[in-house]
Structure 1
């Protein structure tokens, strides 16, 4: 994996994303690791860094729905489902939605669905808007370890040169709720 210099500058982080690097950024509850979801090399680097199986798939986080639209099978969503989803966004709700058939397997894993969230958290909004598209979002930790809560913990786990948006998390006590869009069932409510 390529490493760029430590930076809280959005321009530098966007450059790192375009360079297929993995970056860290604050989310609503913990620090997240992210990369360009369309770049297989970047996603593979993230999987290797986290020691995570590709089969699980990833959450995509975005500033607005249009950044997620191409990954979603809109034909599988009726108006009632769309109303339910859009009434919760932007916000800390992640929806599992049928994936568009062209969505890469390195994003969906072994699933025919995709987990997506439009975040209201300003640092995620700013980063996603500057990058121009959605980001992979997974907790910043090695699999099985507690997620990083600060930029300092990122440096301790991943090295001092790791690209990180050095701002505070939003302070939510738990990660986003994950709901199934078609059934409305709760998948994760920690």
Structure 2
């Protein structure tokens, strides 16, 4: 990522804007996960039902622990053992925009290793929303060219990297209970 493109994208995130960017799985729409207005803009752009939450990206367990007061120890092992991107749904999140939370107060967070995502997260020092860059109910785009022009026009900044590359498939998803029970949501 060029320095100017990184600065534009991180400035956008810091100012409450939304970005279009390649993630460790698919092309995504992103914003500061603590910014209620930015999260609502993504909901509106995607035409997403209010009862659907978002996946967040974080750079470390230390960052995740700031938002999950009862962090289950089993998550350290799950994160270390994951062979492909893994989203963990944690119970009782705090300090995040309400739009990113499920009705039960849980939130899905993926510890990313993607260099672009890490630069963005570390620049704003907060988790970022990473939801598929499509309208709700439509197939997710695997290439930049497949993203609907209305989605592209609806963001404040685009990370101009990996434009020709085909992105991977969505992450695995598991849900952790307060008792550290594990439920597989998507393999």
TM-score by length of 1: 0.82
State the partner residue of 1:184.
Answer: 182
Structure 1 residues 90 and 102, CA, compared in 2 at 3 Å: closer, same or farther?
Answer: farther
Which of these residues, 149, 160, 166, is aligned with residue 166 of structure 1? 160
Which of these residues, 35, 41, 48, is aligned with residue 44 of structure 2? 48
Q: Is the 8 A contact 2:84 2:172 kept in 1?
A: no
Structure 1 residues 26 and 8, CA, compared in 2 at 3 Å: closer, same or farther?
Answer: farther
Gaps of 5+ in 2: none
State the partner residue of 2:60.
Answer: 64
Q: Per the alignment, in what secondary structure is the counterpart of residue 9 of structure 1?
A: helix
Residues 108-129 of structure 1 show CA distances to partners (whole Å, capped at 9, x for unaligned) of: 1312211111111111112111
Gaps of 5+ in 1: 1-6
State the partner residue of 1:156.
Answer: 149
Q: How far 1:84 sits from its partner (Å)?
A: 2.5
1:15 corresponds to 2:11: yes
- In the aligned structure 1, how far is the partner of 2:25 from the partner of 2:8? 24
Structure 1 residues 188 and 160, CA, compared in 2 at 3 Å: closer, same or farther?
Answer: same
Q: Per the alignment, in what secondary structure is the counterpart of residue 96 of structure 1?
A: strand
Q: How far 1:187 sits from its partner (Å)?
A: 0.5
1:100 corresponds to 2:93: yes
Q: Is the 8 A contact 1:8 1:164 kept in 2?
A: no
